[in-house]
Structure 1
Amino acid sequence: MTRDVTAAAAAAAAAAAEKVAKVAGELAARVTRYDAQRDHRAAFAYTYFRLTSDLAASLRTNDLSFRAPDWVADLSVSLAAGYFTAMDAIDSWLGPVPDARPGEEIRPADLPETIPKPWRDVYAASTVRHSYVLEEVLFSMMAHMSYDLPLALRALVAREEVHHRIADFHRMNDLLATSIDVVQDEIAARYCRRLDSLDRLFTRDDELFTSYGIRVARGLAWFNCDRLLDPDARDEAMGSISRSTAAFIAEFRSPDDWRRRHAFQVLRALVPSRRQWPAPGTPVEAMR
Structure 2
Amino acid sequence: MTQDATAVAAEKVLVVVGGLTARVMRYEAARDPRAAFAYTYFRLTSDLAASLRTNALAFRTPEWVADLSVSLAAAYFTAMDAIDSWLGPGPRSPGEVRSADMPESIPRPWRDVYAASTVRHSYVLEEVLFSMMAHMSYDLPLALRALARAGHGELRNHIADFHRMNDLLAVSVDVVQDEISARYCRRLHALDRLFTRDDELFTSYGIRVARGMAWFNCDRLLDPQATAEAKGSISRSTAAFIAEFRSPDDWRRRQALRVLRAVVPSRRQWPPPGTPVEASLRSV
Same fold (TM over 0.5): yes
* Equivalent in the alignment of 1:134: 125
Deviation at 1:200, TM superposition (A): 3.1
In the alignment of these two chains, the number of paired residues is: 279
One-letter amino acid of the counterpart of residue 40, structure 2: T
Task: Indicate whether 1:100 and 2:103 are aligned.
Answer: no
* Equivalent in the alignment of 1:155: 146
* Equivalent in the alignment of 1:114: 105
Distance of 2:280 and 2:244 partners within structure 1: 32
Distance of 2:73 and 2:280 partners within structure 1: 23
Q: Deviations over 1:14-57 (max 9, x none)?
A: 00000001101100110000000000000000000000000000
Distance of 1:213 and 1:172 partners within structure 2: 14
* Equivalent in the alignment of 2:175: 182
One-letter amino acid of the counterpart of residue 103, structure 2: P
Unaligned runs of 5+ in 2: none
Indicate which of 136, 139, 142 corresponds to 1:145.
136
Q: Tell me the secondary structure at the aligned position of residue 106 of structure 1.
A: coil
Contact kept in structure 2, 1:133 and 1:199, CA below 8 Å: no
* Equivalent in the alignment of 1:3: none
1:192-207 correspondence runs (5 A): 192-207=185-200
One-letter amino acid of the counterpart of residue 56, structure 1: A
TM-score, scaled relative to structure 2: 0.96
Contact kept in structure 1, 2:31 and 2:270, CA below 8 Å: yes
Distance of 1:100 and 1:197 partners within structure 2: 29
TM-score, scaled relative to structure 1: 0.94
Deviation at 1:266, TM superposition (A): 2.3
* Equivalent in the alignment of 1:28: 21
User: For the aligned residues, what is the CA RMSD?
Assistant: 1.2
One-letter amino acid of the counterpart of residue 146, structure 1: S
Contact kept in structure 2, 1:189 and 1:287, CA below 8 Å: no
Q: Tell me the secondary structure at the aligned position of residue 267 of structure 2.
A: coil
Q: Deviations over 1:95-147 (max 9, x none)?
A: 001x3312x11110011100000000000000010100011000000000000
Indicate which of 208, 228, 235 corresponds to 2:228.
235
Q: 1:203 to 1:82 in 2, by over 3 A?
A: farther
Distance of 1:245 and 1:44 partners within structure 2: 15
Q: 1:56 to 1:286 in 2, by over 3 A?
A: closer
